[in-house]
Amino acid sequence: MISRRGALVAGAAFFSAAWPTSPAMGRSTHTCRDRLVRLKGGRVLSYREYGNPAGPLVLYFHGTPGSRFEAGLIEDDACCAGVRLVSIDRPGMGCSTYDACRRILDWPCDAVELADTLGGCGSPFGILALSGGAPYAAACALRIPERLTHVAIVSGHTPPDAPGVCPGSEDKKIALIARHQRLGNLALGLISRRLDRKPEKVITKATSSWTAADRQLVLCNPRHHRNLIANLAAATHCGPHGAVTDIHLLGSPWCFSLGAIQGVNVSIWQGGCDPIATPSMGRYFHRHIAGSELRIDPHAGHVTMFKWHAAEILARFVFWGRRPCASSSRG
């Protein structure tokens, strides 16, 4: 029998890869836009736009757990780069409809429907994925390479039991929730309620496995600190089931091979000090995705890799976004 304390301990760790932003607190002068789109099957996807509405379209896939607010950490970078960064709530998180039967390989269809709505039928777009968003980026690279200008995977988490990969600091807990989803629902539900009463205790626990640089980036900046709390709350806005399903899918077999990905530009961005997605995970993606580019910053952690290199990452989308026929020409 799992105790209440045990559930709290198990659940708090899954917020360790989630970070700021919120729709109201600590806003910059740039305008963000929240939207909903109804898919053909009747489900709703919620998303938030950052940057230039006329720029190259880039879909952002948040970490596990996370929400559409997560991309706010690079809001200013998106504006400077001139990209249209669209951050999507996966099913059951934020304001997107929960889907208990979803699979990772279902996500490319959702991404295409949204891109067709935003940019027109058949329009090209890029993908930027962070941490637990990596399997969804890989699935899109496999299933819809002809639509993609570029795919960037930052601090990406690999499939479970990937050979040659050093486990991350949260992998045991991911595996636990993947096997025991009822425990996960209890744990994340308790954490969500505790955020309202004792947010600082939750934040202390959630960031305990971060590097010192990651904690300084987020916790020593009042805007980021406030927004971290808001983002954690958004991840379970409609209850814990969406986040628990996301953890279950991340910690279970992905049911496709990274080696089958061809015909799309992929860059891998990895922090050399990242304890959550270890450097061996970045090397695993690079080794298995043919023609991919690997960039390792020996001084960066899980969050700082994303923020410190945002301008370089977004520049890839600007370059390839100007060449809409690049995907088809690669064969």
Domains of the chain listed by start with CATH number: 4-322 (3.40.50.1820)
Higher pLDDT, 26 or 244: 244
Q: Which residue has the higher pLDDT, 235 or 253?
A: 253
Q: Pairing mode, if any, of strands 33-38 and 148-154?
A: unpaired
Question: What mean pLDDT, rounded, does the chain reach?
Answer: 89
Q: Letter for the amino acid at 222?
A: P
* CA–CA dist 233, 227 (Å, integer): 10
Please report the pLDDT score of residue 15 as a whole number.
Answer: 54
Give the 3-state secondary structure of residue 147.
Answer: helix
Residue 121 CB contacts under 8 Å (≥ 6 apart), including other chains: none
- Decide: helix, strand or coil at residue 229: helix
Residue 295 has pLDDT above 90, yes or no: yes
For range 294-314, the mean pLDDT: 98
Torsion of CA 130, 201, 239, 115, to 10 degrees: -20
* Close Cβ partners of 151 (under 8 Å, ≥ 6 residues apart): 126, 127, 129, 137, 140, 141, 264, 265, 266, 267
The span from the CA of 225 to the CA of 213, in Å, is 14
Global confidence as pTM: 0.90
The backbone torsions φ and ψ at residue 149, rounded to the nearest 5 degrees and listed phi first, read: -85, -40
